[in-house]
Amino acid sequence: WGSYFEYLSSWNKYADDENVMTITYEELKENRVLGVKNIAAFFGISLTEKELELVVERSSFQSMKKNSQKTHGAFGNILFRKGDVRDWKNLFSEDQNEKMDKAFEEHIAGTKLGRKLKYEVYCKV
């Protein structure tokens, strides 16, 4: 599916555009209600409390995983695995972790998106 770092690098040039909002999975996982409110505000949509509750419930990992076959077909089970943050620690060997850190530093650490990701993924442990 291509290089994660090339993908992020290609988007970094748009990070400061007024019509681009960056949000991480970690941010949404930490406070989905605030995340939904921020996304709605970004799009200029006002939500009633009932609508907010509905979006928050339907955007939960568990809800999306349950519907993943309908929404994403055969890729549903691949894309919606656990929903945990920092689960890479359970999957990567120490060597793989070091290689990923090195690639991150080389490709995107100095970019706006890279700094945001590093903070969210690595620093909020």
Architecture of the 4-123 domain: 3-Layer(aba) Sandwich (3.40)
Mean pLDDT over all residues of the chain? 86
Residue 111 vs residue 57, higher pLDDT: 57
Q: What is the largest CA-CA distance in the chain?
A: 49
Confidence of residue 27 (pLDDT cuts 50, 70, 90): confident
d(CA 9, CA 116): 13
Residue 85 vs residue 71, higher pLDDT: 71
The 10 Å Cβ neighbour count of residue 19 is 6
What's the predicted TM-score (pTM) here?
0.74
Query: Domain residue spans in the chain?
Result: 4-123
Identify the DSSP state of 23. Answer: -
Identify the DSSP state of 1. Answer: -
